[in-house]
Chains A and B, each alone.
Chain A
Amino acid sequence: MDAETSQLESMEADVVVRAQAGDARAFEQLVRDYHRRAISLGYRLLGNSEDAQDVAQEAFVRAYKSLAQLDDPARFGGWFMRIVSNLALNFRRARKTRSAVSLDDMSAFGDEFRNPVTGQRKAANTDDESAAMPKELHAAITDAMDELPEQQRLALVLFSVEGMPQKEVAEVLECSIEMVKWNVFQARKKMQKALTEFL
C-alpha cells in the first residue's frame, strides 16, 4: 500500500468516525463517496437501475442505522459493500420467487437501455466502451453472468467490473483472498464456456 492510498484510507476512517459520532455531514460525505459503487454493484447484480437505486438507498439507511456496530472505521468500504451485495442478492432471490423478472432496462432485446443511476432511458451508448459491444453479445454476457453461482458472480463483478482490490472483495464475501482468486477463476471458466461462440 502506497503512502497516498494510506492517507486516503486514514481520511475516510476519520469521516466514518465522525459519522459514527452522529455528524450528518460526515455521513453525507460517505454517501457521496460510495453511491456510484453501490448503485453500480446493484445494477450488475440485478440488471435493473430502479432496483439498483432502491437497494443502494436501503443499504445506506441500514449502514446509518448500524454504523455504531462497525468496529474498525478503516473497513467501512468492505463492510458497506457487503450490505449492498447482501441486499441485492436477497432482492434477486425474492424477485426470482415472484417469477417476475424484468430486465426491461437491459439492452438485451431493445433498442435502448436505462442509465443505471438516473433510471432514464437512453439510446444505446455511442460514446463509451460498452457501446462498441454488439447487443447480442451484451445480452449473452448478461445471461452468462446471471447463470453464475452467487459467490462467483459477486467475486467477478466486484473484482473485474468494479475494480475492487481482492482484499476488499474478500471482506465483502467474508472469505480469504485466495478464495476470491479461485472464485474469479471459476467464474471466468464458466463464462468462457457460455460465450464460446463469441470468443
Chain B
Amino acid sequence: MTDRGYNPDDPGFLASRRLDEELPAEAQARLDAALSASPALREEAEQLRAVDDLVKRWGAGSEEVDSEPFVKSVVGAVESQHDSVELRRVDSLLAGWRDEDLGIDSDRFVEGVMGRVAPRRRAPGHQWIIRLGVPLAAAAAVMFAVTTTLQRGSIDQDPGSVSVDWGTVAGTVEVAFARSADPSPADGLDNDEIGFVSVGAGPALLLDDEAPPS
C-alpha cells in the first residue's frame, strides 16, 4: 500500500472525500473556500464526480446470479476437502490444547514443593538421638561394664550386663569374652590388667533376645 504523496489537505482529495459524504464540517468549509477561489478546482471536482458516476454505472447491472449451480459446486468442492480439513481442525485443537494456559503460578508451586520437601531433609531431633545416642550409650555401657569387671580382678568372670532404657529403645547390653585357644599373651602384656584386649577377646553387644557367645 503506497502512501506516496499523501496529503490530507489536498483540495482534490477533499473533493473526492466529499463525493463519499464523509468529509467533516471543518474540512468541508475549507473545501468550499478553495472551490470559490479556484475555477480549475471546481472543474476538477466536477470531473471527479463524473468519473465516480461512470465507474458506478460500469460496475452496475451484471448481477443476474443463478446461485444454485455455483453454490452446489462450491459445496461439492468443499466436501471433497472435508477429511483433510477435519484432520487440520483436530491438529488445531491439539495445538490449542498444547498451548493452553494452565494457570500455573510457578513461584507458588515451587514454594509448595520445597515446603513439603524441606522437613524430610531435616531429620527430627529424636531421630538423631536414636541414630547416634544409642550406639554411643551402648559403647559407654560396655566400657563401664568392662572397667568395672577389670577393677574387680579377673577377666574370667562374666563382665555382666547393663540395662538400657531410652524411651523408644530399651533392652539389655551384655558383655562377654571369648577366650582364644592360646592363652599366652601375644603382645607380652599382662592379661590380668588389660586382658580383654590382649587375649584376643572382644566384647559382644547383644540384644536381650540373643544368647551370649559361650
The answer to whether A and B interact is: yes
A interface residues, Cβ below 8 angstroms from B? 22, 24, 27-28, 31-32, 35-36, 39-40, 43-44, 53, 56-57, 60-61, 64-65, 68-69, 115-118, 125, 127-133, 137-138, 141-142, 145, 149, 151, 156-157, 159-162, 166, 173-175, 178-179, 181-185, 188-189, 191-192, 195, 198-199
Closest partner residue, chain B, to A182 (CB atom)? B6
A156 to B48, CA, bound (A): 13
Q: What's the least CB distance linking B184 to chain A, in Å?
A: 98
User: In chain B between 164 and 206, which residues have their CB closer than 8 angstroms to a CB of chain A?
Assistant: none
DSSP majority for the B interface? helix
Chain A residues with Cβ below 8 Å from B54 are 133, 137, 141, 191, 195, 198
Chain A residues with Cβ below 8 Å from B17 are 181, 185
Asked if A32 meets B73 with Cβ closer than 8 Å, knowing A130-B61, A156-B55, A192-B47, the reply is no
Closest partner residue, chain A, to B13 (CB atom)? A185
A65 to B92, CA, bound (A): 12
Q: What's the least CB distance linking A137 to chain B, in Å?
A: 7
**Judging by beta carbons under 8 Å apart, are B47 and A116 in contact?**
no
A145 to B51, CA, bound (A): 12
Chain A residues with Cβ below 8 Å from B97 are none
Q: Mark B1-34, 1 if CB is under 8 A from A, else 0.
A: 1110010101011001100101000000000000
What 10 additional pairs, Cβ within 8 angstroms, besides A192-B51, A195-B54? A24-B75, A40-B62, A44-B59, A61-B81, A65-B85, A125-B62, A145-B58, A156-B55, A174-B1, A189-B48
Chain B residues with Cβ below 8 Å from A174 are 1
B79, CB-defined interface residue at 8 Å: yes
Chain A residues with Cβ below 8 Å from B64 are 115, 117-118
Chain B residues with Cβ below 8 Å from A137 are 54
Work out how many contacts link A and B, with CB atoms closer than 8 A. Answer: 159
Chain A residues with Cβ below 8 Å from B67 are 32, 35-36, 117
A137 to B86, CA, bound (A): 49
Query: Pick the contact of A117 from B22, B57, B70 — CB < 8 Å?
Result: B70
Chain B residues with Cβ below 8 Å from A156 are 55
Query: Pick the contact of B63 from A61, A69, A117, A188 — CB < 8 Å?
Result: A117
A143 to B156, CA, bound (A): 131
B71, CB-defined interface residue at 8 Å: yes
A142 to B59, CA, bound (A): 10
Interface centre among B48, B59, B84 (most CB of A within 10 A): B59
